[in-house]
Each structure stands twice: as C-alpha cells, then as structure tokens.
Amino acid sequence: MSPRPKKQRNCEGSFCGQAYKPTGTPLKDLKQIELHRDELEALRLCDSEGLTQEEAGARMGVSRGTIQRILTVARKKTSTSLARGYAIIFVSDEE
C-alpha cells in the first residue's frame, strides 16, 4: 500500500540552493541541515508576518494541523542550527 500523495503547497519565496552559515568557516567544513521550502514558508508566514496557523494554512493550501507539524520541525531545525553553528541549506521539495 503506497502512502497518500503529498498535497501541493503554495510557497512564495525562492531561496532554494542558498545557504545560511556562520562566518569564517567554509560550508564544506560545517554540518548541514536542510530546511525545505514549505518549512521556510511556514516560518515566514507565522513568525515574520504574524499570521495564525489557520491563516497560514489557508495561504499555503493545507490544514492548520499540517502547518503545526511543519512549524515544529522547522523551528527545531533552525534553533539547532543556530545554537550549534550548523549551516542551514534551503532545498526544494520538487527535486
């Protein structure tokens, strides 16, 4: 039995292929954590624009529960990267 197909998510930003890293250390020498496009979009909508999870879900075309799961993962990845000095690599889910 195959898993349910992933619902198309509406994302506005285009940062794929870029990275955020500490200065002074080459990217190849750092542990890298991938932040997917939908995770970055959920962070942007809820934390930067101040939308509720319901409003962000409506903008992205997914449920509030899905936004909540995406945010939980994205916030953990981001905080871990910042606290431990890892690089954040922005990737597309459409690869």
- The Cα 92–Cα 95 span in angstroms is 6
Global confidence as pTM: 0.79
Rounded CA Rg of the chain: 14
CA separation (Å) from 84 to 19, 21, 38, 60, 79? 16, 11, 23, 30, 8
Tell me if 19 is assigned to some domain. no
More confident residue, 21 or 8: 21
Range of the domain at 65: 29-91
Tell me if 71 is assigned to some domain. yes
Tell me if 13 is assigned to some domain. no
Number of domains present in the structure of the chain: 1
Tell me if 2 is assigned to some domain. no
CATH of the domain at 80: 1.10.10
The average pLDDT across 44-53 equals 95
Give pLDDT, residue 92: 79
Any bridge partners for residue 88, and if so which?
20, 33
pLDDT in tens, 55-73: 999 999 999 999 999 999 9
Give pLDDT, residue 15: 63
